[in-house]
Chains A and B, each alone.
Chain A
């Protein structure tokens, strides 16, 4: 029998319920408001009282209204058809909802039950299988979507039967398994999983050993992120966080991209679902939308569902990872999620930590980041979830709880700088404050030696040193004046400007410059470094400045031209003439 209860207290979306039976932490319940069932989640139990956070507006709710508990945690449905979908934080399909406005208690099916999928069996009767093993495959767009033994199955099973090759809908029983006791268990194309728990069902989680290409020079060249790696982008508003994240979503070398719009602007989601169906994935030539799932809990949607949205997105990534695919999760912004936690903690009158955030914020964030990673599946194949989150630090100050907690959890740090944004030096990723810990991994260094060129990591370090020296020289020039420093300071400064303008800066709105493949990045860095290695002599700093400005201008024109095309080569010739 289900536990029931009645409402006894309401503060905004925190509702206190007097219960008549057992309840579990994170259990889901439905509150009946004049026939409308509103979903809520238990976040605290105190004696016979449960505090629940309601995923909807509580306007009109009364004390005495009835509540029914479901005996399960918040879970989502996994199966073919997740890609190309636009869901809210609770996995309701937003495209099938009626009316212009979102209605309370309107919950829609996440997957199409009528659509037929071409199924090919991969397992055969007699096979011994465990959770996450592959039973069959359907084609989802161009991706091989594996039908797996549900993640929740414990122990070893024997395959009793698998349906033959053919077209079936997601509810068809495609396989029957028998457990250790000989009990028969049917398996369909879908399964459910509670989002707050990490999906296991893999053999091991090794250190990442490959780089995920994004086509953004300041990431791939200077601070590469590994496949299965974690990174975050903090920055004040107006520094280009969203543009950078969208660039990664468009160009990232991944099979599946899940974008979680968490407490951000609705128009940014509109931009994704308007543009992605038109844009082509540079790696496969398919439409970008075919590999994308959008989880959308915009800033005006119920606050409690914001927290759910990032977990929903992560669970979908883990599901595709178990198929041996490369997934990329982009969450914008994790600060909004932290703020949702803060609002609830505040309403529950918990003792606050720094900036009124809950004291366990840091633990929650690192727990979430730890769900990313590369895994070796039971069958020896690999899959990866790469996670990049954005952080919106209050007042642009990086010494705030969300940024500090995330810094402990993420391995790449892409700090966006107000001063670079003010000078329109986009992407405004700080070349000196940002880092990628993966550059210190010997396996990543070996990978780059092999795929880019031998000694690549040292070249990247050289480039960073040139920028650092340029910054120091510039500070001296600012203190002592143009005439007060030796010529070499000016040359150092302008070499760093050369790197800045040609390598660091990139025009995300230019058809050619927006996407810079790693081969082109290698070519340009080698070219720029070869110029930086040269010794130059100038009569005065004016001559130095104008010579470098001309050079930078030509190299920038190269960035705007087709790689190795006619005008590219013409500009290259002018560069060679200048430096001869």
Chain B
């Protein structure tokens, strides 16, 4: 790997923690890779000639007389069209039994796109799911996570979205994926006949946690190759970013850094932003869209991981079980797509944004009515109508098993309005009422 005439081998470790080792060495560069007793490691700190290395696969079984060689370069991924249709581990080595990739080695976690060279995202990504398309429309070049409790079917929804989206490449970065979920993705991609446009970088729960830190950078380096060099539309799926952040906190803890909120490193925001900000719309039509999963602890979005994520991403899609209908829905209150106004009423029908706002407002009124009911109060006629509307709305539009066009979603909403409300109760602009009200 390194082009050095000779490689000095060090054999004296000064310290070992669960994730790092330290030793005295000279001429070491920041971020460069090293091999410690056959395990891959990366330089994370130098202080005089004392060098701290982070060992990706953990330090189990590493003796303090281990052989250490420095490779002189940061982690790379070899990129070429051969990547398509392949499955790799966190280091970019094939795990599907196929040959190694030939191509140009690229540093992972490289520089960011000049903001001035970006373009404003403007292409709609339809998913058929009304909770997304109607209320939280996705746009290419966007970055958005699913916020979901571990028991929600987020990987299934993500696979549905990926396969329905009209993109050239789908790149899956799996971090701490259970073996079952890994096989689920593999099978659903296979079943859809989409294998030739899929690339997967997989770290399963059987692999060491610190290895996960490489996965998003590997996936995004591959994405940049196809989006920047090949002008392709790339969709990157990252699941589960909470496990990625956990790995970050393990490393920072072993390096004696002062933790900030929720034992997370103080740099969590920057660390996550570096990944999510790789989402981009380029002037050449190439784009990288990132859909991620952040699992929550009992719906708590104030925890440092979802909280920092929310400030970085362009919205979030919140999955929850609806007790009225027994279905999993996309929560209209807590979900948001920040880029939706770039396509709503422009790439979709003129009534889109007003219908969306009215339908959510009425759903909110239904929630108030529900609270009244739970507190034992009499419900007004309006409250009762709201409650009936909420059931239909959840079943016909919010549920994740909906698969219809956006025009059908709008027509459905107008039908529900007319069924339960007067035009004035919807608060929609008169001009649109005149045109679309289904009396």
The residues of A with any CB-CB pair to B shorter than 8 Å are 8-12, 16, 57-64, 86, 94-95, 97, 99-104, 236-238, 242, 263, 265-267, 269-271, 273-275, 296, 298-301, 303, 333, 336, 339, 342-343, 346-347, 349, 352, 355-356, 392, 394-397, 422-424, 478, 481-483, 509, 541-542, 545-546, 549-550, 552-553, 556-557, 560
| Docked pose: A46 CA to B189 CA in angstroms | 58
Fill in one digit per residue for B307-319: 1 if any A CB lies within 8 Å of its CB, else 0. 1101110111000
Known: A267-B314, A509-B353. Is A62-B29 also a contact (CB below 8 A)?
yes
Closest to B272 in A: A299
**Residues from chain B with Cβ under 8 Å of A333 in the complex:** 311
B105 CB-CB contact with A under 8 Å: no
Could you tell me if A346 and B257 are in contact, using CB atoms closer than 8 angstroms?
Answer: yes
| Docked pose: A9 CA to B52 CA in angstroms | 11
Looking at the assembled complex, report how far the CB atom of B251 sits from the nearest CB atom of chain A, in whole angstroms: 12
Looking at the assembled complex, report how far the CB atom of B39 sits from the nearest CB atom of chain A, in whole angstroms: 21
Report B412-428 residues with CB < 8 Å from chain A CB.
Answer: 424-425, 427
Question: Known contacts A336-B269, A422-B364; can you find 5 more A-B pairs with CB under 8 A?
Answer: A11-B45, A60-B32, A104-B111, A299-B277, A424-B357
Known: A298-B277, A299-B273. Is A101-B114 also a contact (CB below 8 A)?
yes
Could you tell me if B266 and A356 are in contact, using CB atoms closer than 8 angstroms?
Answer: yes
**Residues from chain B with Cβ under 8 Å of A546 in the complex:** 382
Closest to B256 in A: A349
Known: A352-B258, A422-B334. Is A269-B115 also a contact (CB below 8 A)?
yes
Could you tell me if B378 and A300 are in contact, using CB atoms closer than 8 angstroms?
Answer: no
Give the top 5 A-B pairs by smallest Cβ distance, nearest first. A395-B302, A299-B273, A300-B277, A237-B310, A481-B377
Task: Specify which of A59, A342, A483 lies most central, judged by the most chain B CB atoms within 10 Å of its CB.
Answer: A59
**Residues from chain B with Cβ under 8 Å of A300 in the complex:** 112, 273-274, 277-278
Looking at the assembled complex, report how far the CB atom of B34 sits from the nearest CB atom of chain A, in whole angstroms: 14
The residues of B with any CB-CB pair to A shorter than 8 Å are 26-32, 44-49, 74, 107, 110-121, 141-142, 228, 257-261, 266-267, 269-270, 273-274, 277-278, 280, 282, 301-304, 307-308, 310-312, 314-316, 333-334, 336, 338-339, 341, 353, 357, 360-361, 364, 371-372, 375-378, 380-382, 424-425, 427, 429-430
Identify 19 residue pairs between A and B in the complex whose beta-carbon atoms are under 8 Å apart, listed by A's number: A8-B47, A8-B48, A11-B45, A16-B47, A58-B31, A94-B115, A237-B311, A266-B280, A267-B339, A299-B274, A303-B270, A346-B267, A394-B302, A394-B308, A395-B304, A422-B364, A478-B375, A481-B378, A542-B380
Could you tell me if A355 and B261 are in contact, using CB atoms closer than 8 angstroms?
Answer: yes
Closest to B383 in A: A482
Could you tell me if A9 and B47 are in contact, using CB atoms closer than 8 angstroms?
Answer: yes
**Residues from chain B with Cβ under 8 Å of A11 in the complex:** 44-47
**Residues from chain B with Cβ under 8 Å of A100 in the complex:** 113-114, 117, 228, 282
| Docked pose: A265 CA to B272 CA in angstroms | 12
Looking at the assembled complex, report how far the CB atom of B240 sits from the nearest CB atom of chain A, in whole angstroms: 20
Could you tell me if B121 and A267 are in contact, using CB atoms closer than 8 angstroms?
Answer: yes
**Residues from chain B with Cβ under 8 Å of A86 in the complex:** 115-116
Looking at the assembled complex, report how far the CB atom of A416 sits from the nearest CB atom of chain B, in whole angstroms: 13
Could you tell me if B115 and A266 are in contact, using CB atoms closer than 8 angstroms?
Answer: yes
Known: A104-B111, A355-B261, A553-B424. Is A395-B269 also a contact (CB below 8 A)?
no
**Residues from chain B with Cβ under 8 Å of A560 in the complex:** 429
Could you tell me if A355 and B260 are in contact, using CB atoms closer than 8 angstroms?
Answer: yes
Could you tell me if A397 and B302 are in contact, using CB atoms closer than 8 angstroms?
Answer: yes
**Residues from chain B with Cβ under 8 Å of A237 in the complex:** 307, 310-311
